Amino acid sequence: MSATGGAKRLVPGDIRAAKGGTPIVMLTAYTTPIAKLVDQHCEMALVGDSVGMVLHGLPTTLGVTMEMMILHGQAVARGLKRAMMVIDMPFGSFEESPDQAFRNAARLMAETGAGAVKLEGGTHMAETIAFLTERGIPVMGHVGLTPQSVNTLGGYKVQGRGEDGDRVRADAISVAEAGAFSIVLEKVPDTLARAITKAVDVPTIGIGASADCDGQVLVVDDMLGLFADFRPKFVKRYAELSETAERAIATYAAEVRLRRFPATEHVFGDDSKAK
Binding-site residue set for 3-methyl-2-oxobutanoate? 49-50, 88, 118
Three-state SS sequence of the chain: CCCCCCCCCCCHHHHHHCCCCCCEEEEECCCHHHHHHHHCCCCEEEECCCHHHHCCCCCCCCCCCHHHHHHHHHHHHCCCCCCEEEEECCCCCCCCCHHHHHHHHHHHHHHHCCCEEECCECHHHHHHHHHHHHCCCCEEEEEECCHHHHHHHCCCCCCCCCCHHHHHHHHHHHHHHHCCCEEEEECCCHHHHHHHHHHCCCCEEEECCCCCCCEEEECHHHHCCCCCCCCCCCCCCCCCHHHHHHHHHHHHHHHHHCCCCCCHHHCCCCCCCCC
CB atoms within 10 A of CB 190: 14
Q: Is the dihedral of CA 170, 172, 176, 180 positive or negative?
A: positive
Q: Which positions make up the binding site for Mg(2+)? A: 49, 88, 120
CA distances from 68 to 23, 65, 102, 114, 222 (A): 30, 5, 18, 14, 20
Q: Which of 127, 134, 163, 186 is catalytic?
A: 186
- Residue 2 CA to chain centroid, in angstroms? 18
95 is catalytic: no
Q: Which residues are catalytic?
A: 186
